[in-house]
Amino acid sequence: MNNWSQFIYCLSAGYFLYYLLNLAYDLSRGGRSGPASTGSSPMLNIADLDVPLDAGMISEGTFPGREDLPEGLLSSGPISSTGGITLKEAMGDALKESILYSSQIPS
Amino acid sequence: MVIAFGNTKAGTGKSSLLLLLASYLSSLHRRVYLIEVGDNGALNQFHQRSKILEHSLPFEYFACGLSGANLLISRLSAEAETFILVEFPSEGYNEDIVPLFLAADLLVIPFCYDVPTLHSSVYFACLSRRIKKGISLLFLPNRVSSRAAHDLREETDRVLRQIAPVCAGITEHIGFQRISSMSLGAAFLKRSLPVLDLIYHHYLPKTGRP
Residue A76 within any structural domain of the chain = no
- Which member of B123, B127, B155 has the closest CB to residue A105? B155
CATH 3.40.50.2300 is right for the domain spanning B2-203: no
Residue A14 within any structural domain of the chain = yes
Virtual torsion, Cα B125, B127, B132, B138, nearest 10 deg = -10
Mean pLDDT of A42-50: 71
Cα separation, B171 vs B191, whole angstroms: 9
Q: What does the pLDDT read at residue A79?
A: 60
Q: What does the pLDDT read at residue A78?
A: 59
Q: Percent of chain A at pLDDT above 70?
A: 56
Mean pLDDT of B145-166: 82
Least confident of A60-74, B58-72, B76-90, B152-166: A60-74
Which chain A residues have a beta carbon less than 8 Å from that of B152?
A: 105-106
Test the B interface: residue of A89, A105, A107 with most B CBs within 10 Å? A105
pLDDT bucket at B160, cuts 50 / 70 / 90: very high
Residue ranges covered by each domain of chain B: 2-203
- Nearest in space to B16 (alpha carbons), one of B147, B192, B138: B192
Cα separation, B176 vs B62, whole angstroms: 22
Which chain A residues have a beta carbon less than 8 Å from that of B115?
A: 107
Residue A10 within any structural domain of the chain = yes
For residue B157, give how far its alpha carbon lies from the nearest alpha carbon of chain A (Å): 9
- Which member of A90, A98, A105 has the closest CB to residue B156? A105
Residue of chain B whose Cα is closest to the Cα of A92: B127
Domain count, chain A: 1
pLDDT bucket at A37, cuts 50 / 70 / 90: very low
Point out which residues pair with A77 in neighbouring strands: none
Do B199 and B165 touch, CB atoms closer than 8 A? no
Q: What does the pLDDT read at residue B151?
A: 67
Q: What does the pLDDT read at residue B149?
A: 64
Cα separation, A6 vs B21, whole angstroms: 92
ipTM value, please give it: 0.82
Interface residue ranges in chain B relative to chain A, Cβ cutoff 8 Å: 93-95, 97-98, 115, 118-119, 122-123, 125-127, 129-131, 152, 155-156, 159, 162-163
- Residue range(s) defining the domain that contains residue A12: 1-30
Mean pLDDT of B136-143: 90
**pLDDT: which is higher, B19 or A66:** B19
Cα separation, A45 vs B9, whole angstroms: 70
**pLDDT: which is higher, A2 or A12:** A12
| H, E, C per residue of chain B | CEEEECCCCCCCCHHHHHHHHHHHHHHCCCEEEEEEECCCCHHHHHHHHHHHCCCCCCCEEEEECHHHHHHHHHHHHCCCCEEEEEECCCCCCCHHHHHHHHHCCEEEEEECCCHHHHHHHHHHHHHHHHHCCCCCEEEEECCECCCCCCCCHHHHHHHHCCCCCECCCCECCHHHHCCCCCCCCHHHHHHCHHHHHHHHHHHCCCCCCC
Which chain A residues have a beta carbon less than 8 Å from that of B93?
A: 87, 91
User: CA-CA distances (angstroms) from residue A89 to B52, B66, B67, B101, B115?
Assistant: 45, 20, 21, 16, 25
Residue of chain B whose Cα is closest to the Cα of A105: B156
Cβ atoms within 10 Å of B79's Cβ, excluding its own: 11
Residue of chain A whose Cα is closest to the Cα of B158: A105
Tens of pLDDT, residue by residue over A48-67, are 777 777 777 666 555 555 55
Least confident of A3-7, A16-20, B37-41, B85-89: B37-41
Cα separation, B209 vs B85, whole angstroms: 13
Could A94 and B126 be called an inter-chain contact, meaning their C-beta atoms sit closer than 8 Å?
yes
Virtual torsion, Cα A84, B104, B74, A82, nearest 10 deg = -10
Residue A51 within any structural domain of the chain = no
Tens of pLDDT, residue by residue over B34-56, are 999 987 788 988 998 998 999 88
Q: What does the pLDDT read at residue A59?
A: 64
Phi and psi at A74, nearest 5°, equal: -90, -10
Enter the pTM of the model. Answer: 0.69
Could B159 and A102 be called an inter-chain contact, meaning their C-beta atoms sit closer than 8 Å?
yes
